[in-house]
């Protein structure tokens, strides 16, 4: 039985709040080619990696909703893009064994690119204009690269938040 | 091992997608609960973000110091040179602006300088790469209302789209959802400029005409510039007949004070603005100035500087000129802005 402080219901909102603050303060200043890294997307994707397709998708949906609350973009858009991406990552994650250290960052790189493109497409379908431009390619490249670089750290944090009983179970086994 | 697709996992995904689409649809219909939730979330996150901003700004400064050092230095040099040039020009321009404002006041026209404003600091830049809004630290407590124009020292920044008690959200002019009625004027016709006429030097300059003195009839025919001017002198007067030389007149091309009107809209992040409905024959050129037109029912008062025409291209088969505008305000480095306490006339 997990204690209250170990519960994902407590840890995940805490992590999301901290990452949201970072995203809205530090990340808006650290721009590369005018593009900010997307830590929120990173933790959503990593949720799928560390918690599997189902739990990861639910966590990513929650993360997306929290992010949408702070934006003026269509409400539910981030939740949709993040949940679908985290689910996809989670499903693929169970399909093979991770034998090399670079598999995780590579997954995050590809998933970040896919999620950003999906976001742009869905936003356009819902009437947003000016998103699918040449600038979108720059956004995809920068966001994917930054997320891939930061993915090992994010994986540790999200494992702490979402699967606190993971190491114990392994020890028992 | 092949990926496992269990029914429960698929059902979870379907539920999440349906929930997202439902939320998107509710938001598209302009739902109150979503706005209320956003307001609450903003109120919660705002002080945390402020504290994080203060604590982490040294890292941001360090980053900019490392990666943008050369750019910043070049920009400083350029700005110093610009300041020197502007200092003299601003003194001259201020007198003209005063005249302009007085004339507008005399004629009962709204002057931008007469509109009261509230100064606000930008406290939140876009957190998402697809969001074209900024947050400012003033709200309804200072009389701000949705729809009020926001300007910086450079020019038009945007329009208030959400107003809370002590903060507001500004939609930037680069957002494609924001349209502004504008007029395009030659640079010299913008408020504060000293002349509206471009003088093109004549291609040929005639030398002074050597007068030949003769006793002539009572009429003097002065020839040269066409049409010929004939004046009548009193009888017996000594007249001077000018040699019949063709003099090229000084060519003075006067561009109209207003070249055309149009609807300016954003084209997304990192893109210049666009203007629709500009006639092919309007004479709009690169470098022309774009101001809010302030037409009846316009969302903005007249004569706010929006930017400078950066592209003016004729497209074959189109009746409209393709016009792009470089925003006058530096939207990437906003710090302090002014909210004009102005509401469009009903």
Q: List CB contacts (< 8 A) between A58 and chain B.
A: 12, 16
Instruction: With 0.90 as the threshold, say if the pTM is over it.
Output: no
Q: How high is the mean pLDDT in each 10-residue block of chain A (173 residues)?
A: 77 92 86 90 95 93 94 91 94 71 90 95 87 90 95 94 65 38
3-state helix, strand, coil in chain A (%, to 5): 75, 0, 20
Testing the interface with A: which of B4, B129, B163 to mutate, by most A Cβ within 10 A?
Answer: B129
* Residues contacting residue A142 through CB under 8 Å, at least 6 positions apart: A32, A33, A35, A37
Q: Is B28 a residue whose pLDDT tops 70?
A: yes
CB pairs under 8 A between A and B: 180
Q: Is B41 a residue whose pLDDT tops 70?
A: yes
CA–CA gap between residue B305 and residue B170 (Å, rounded): 17
* Residues contacting residue B99 through CB under 8 Å, at least 6 positions apart: none
- Residue B129 to residue A35, Cβ atoms within 8 A: yes
**What mean pLDDT is reported for chain B?**
76
Nearest to A135 among B9, B60, B268 (CB): B268
Q: What is the pLDDT of residue B110?
A: 60
Q: What is the pLDDT of residue B202?
A: 40
Q: Which 8-state DSSP code applies to residue B250? A: P
Residue A31: is the preceding peptide bond cis (ω within 30°)?
no
Q: How does pLDDT run across B245-284, given as a tens digit for each residue?
A: 444 555 555 666 777 888 999 988 778 899 998 888 888 8
| Band (B35; pLDDT cuts 50, 70, 90) | confident
3-class secondary structure, B2 = coil
3-class secondary structure, A166 = helix
Spell out the SS3 assignment of A63-120: HHHHHHHCCCCCCCHHHHHHHHHHHHHHHHHCCCCCCCCCHHHHHHHHHHHHHHHHHH
Can you name the residues that pair with B291 across neighbouring β-strands? B183, B305
- A64-73, B78-87, B225-234, B296-305, range with the lowest pLDDT: B225-234
3-class secondary structure, A127 = coil
Residues A94 and A52 sit within 8 Å (Cβ to Cβ): yes
Q: What is the pLDDT of residue B99?
A: 73
CA–CA gap between residue B160 and residue B148 (Å, rounded): 5
Q: What is the pLDDT of residue B235?
A: 45
Average pLDDT over residues B134-144: 92
CA–CA gap between residue A77 and residue A82 (Å, rounded): 8
Q: What is the pLDDT of residue B192?
A: 52
Q: Which 8-state DSSP code applies to residue B155? A: S
Instruction: Give the residue with greater pLDDT, B297 vs B143.
Output: B143
Structure tokens at B162: 């959400």
ipTM: 0.86
CA–CA gap between residue B227 and residue B293 (Å, rounded): 40
Q: Is B108 a residue whose pLDDT tops 70?
A: no
Is some CB atom of chain B closer than 8 A to the CB atom of A9?
Answer: no
Share of chain B above pLDDT 90, in %: 21
Closest listed residue to residue B161, CA positions, set B149, B153, B151: B149
Q: Is B234 a residue whose pLDDT tops 60?
A: no
- A13-17, B3-7, B21-25, range with the lowest pLDDT: B3-7
Is some CB atom of chain B closer than 8 A to the CB atom of A13?
Answer: no
Q: How does pLDDT run across B48-81, given as a tens digit for each residue?
A: 888 887 888 788 777 777 777 777 778 888 888 7
Q: What is the pLDDT of residue B211?
A: 42
Name the residue in chain A with its Cα closest to that of B28: A74
3-class secondary structure, A22 = helix
Q: Which 8-state DSSP code applies to residue B161? A: E
Q: Is B209 a residue whose pLDDT tops 50?
A: no
Q: Is B207 a residue whose pLDDT tops 60?
A: no
Instruction: Give the residue with greater pLDDT, B151 vs B242.
Output: B151
Min CA distance, A147 vs chain B (Å)?
A: 14
What DSSP string describes B122-157?
Answer: EEE--SSTT--EEEES--GGGT--TT-EEE-SSSEE
Can you name the residues that pair with B185 across neighbouring β-strands? B289
Q: List CB contacts (< 8 A) between A15 and chain B.
A: none
| Band (B173; pLDDT cuts 50, 70, 90) | very high
Tokens 């997990």 belong to A2
CA atoms within 13 A on the CB side of A132: 12
Q: What is the pLDDT of residue A116?
A: 95
Q: Is B152 a residue whose pLDDT tops 70?
A: yes
Q: What is the pLDDT of residue A131?
A: 85
Q: List CB contacts (< 8 A) between B42 and chain A.
A: 69-70
Q: What is the pLDDT of residue B208?
A: 42
Average pLDDT over residues B224-240: 42
Q: Is B133 a residue whose pLDDT tops 50?
A: yes
Closest listed residue to residue B175, CA positions, set B262, B268, B264, B305: B268
Residues A156 and A167 sit within 8 Å (Cβ to Cβ): no
């Amino acid at each position: 039985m997990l204690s209250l402080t170990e519960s994902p219901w407590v840890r995940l909102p805490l992590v999301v709040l901290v990452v949201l603050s970072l995203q809205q303060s530090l990340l808006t200043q650290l721009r590369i080619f005018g593009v900010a890294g997307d830590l929120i997307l990173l933790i959503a994707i990593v949720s799928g990696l560390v918690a599997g397709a189902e739990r990861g998708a639910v966590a990513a949906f929650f993360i997306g909703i929290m992010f949408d609350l702070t934006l003026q973009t269509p409400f539910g858009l981030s939740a949709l893009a993040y949940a679908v991406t985290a689910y996809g990552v989670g499903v693929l994650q169970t399909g093979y064994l991770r034998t090399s250290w670079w598999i995780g960052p590579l997954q995050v790189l590809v998933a970040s690119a896919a999620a950003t493109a999906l976001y742009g497409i869905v936003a356009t379908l819902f009437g947003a204009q000016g998103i699918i431009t040449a600038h979108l390619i720059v956004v995809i490249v920068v966001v994917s690269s930054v997320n891939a670089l930061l993915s090992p750290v994010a994986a540790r944090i999200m494992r702490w938040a979402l699967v606190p009983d993971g190491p114990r179970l392994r020890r028992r086994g | 091992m092949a990926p496992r697709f269990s029914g429960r996992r698929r059902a979870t995904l379907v539920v999440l997608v349906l929930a997202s689409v439902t939320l998107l649809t509710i938001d598209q219909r302009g739902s109150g609960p979503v706005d209320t939730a956003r307001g609450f979330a903003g109120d919660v996150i705002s002080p945390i973000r402020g504290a994080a901003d203060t604590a982490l700004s040294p890292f941001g400064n360090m980053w900019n110091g490392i990666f943008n050092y050369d750019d910043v230095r070049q920009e400083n040099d350029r700005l110093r040179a610009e300041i020197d040039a502007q200092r003299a020009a601003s003194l001259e321009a201020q007198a003209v602006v005063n005249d302009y404002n007085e004339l507008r006041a005399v004629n009962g026209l709204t002057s931008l300088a007469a509109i009261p404003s509230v100064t606000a600091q930008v406290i939140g830049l876009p957190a998402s790469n697809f969001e074209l809004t900024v947050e400012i630290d003033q709200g309804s407590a200072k009389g701000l209302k949705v729809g009020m124009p926001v300007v910086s020292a450079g020019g038009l920044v945007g329009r208030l789209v959400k107003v809370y008690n002590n903060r507001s959200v500004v939609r930037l002019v680069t957002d494609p959802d924001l349209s502004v009625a504008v007029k395009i004027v030659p640079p010299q016709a913008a408020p504060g400029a000293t002349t509206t006429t471009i003088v093109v030097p004549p291609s040929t300059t005639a030398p002074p005409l050597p007068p030949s003195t003769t006793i002539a009839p009572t009429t003097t025919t002065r020839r040269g510039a066409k049409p010929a001017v004939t004046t009548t002198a009193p009888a017996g007067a000594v007249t001077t007949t000018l040699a019949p030389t063709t003099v090229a007149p000084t060519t003075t091309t006067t561009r109209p004070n207003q070249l055309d009107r149009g609807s300016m809209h954003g084209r997304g992040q990192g893109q210049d603005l666009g203007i629709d409905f500009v006639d092919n024959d309007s004479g709009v050129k690169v470098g022309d100035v774009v101001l809010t037109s302030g037409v009846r029912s316009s969302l903005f008062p007249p004569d706010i500087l929006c930017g400078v025409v950066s592209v003016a291209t004729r497209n074959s088969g189109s009746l409209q000129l393709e016009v792009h505008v470089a925003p006058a305000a530096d939207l990437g480095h906003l710090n302090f802005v002014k909210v004009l306490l102005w509401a469009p006339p009903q």
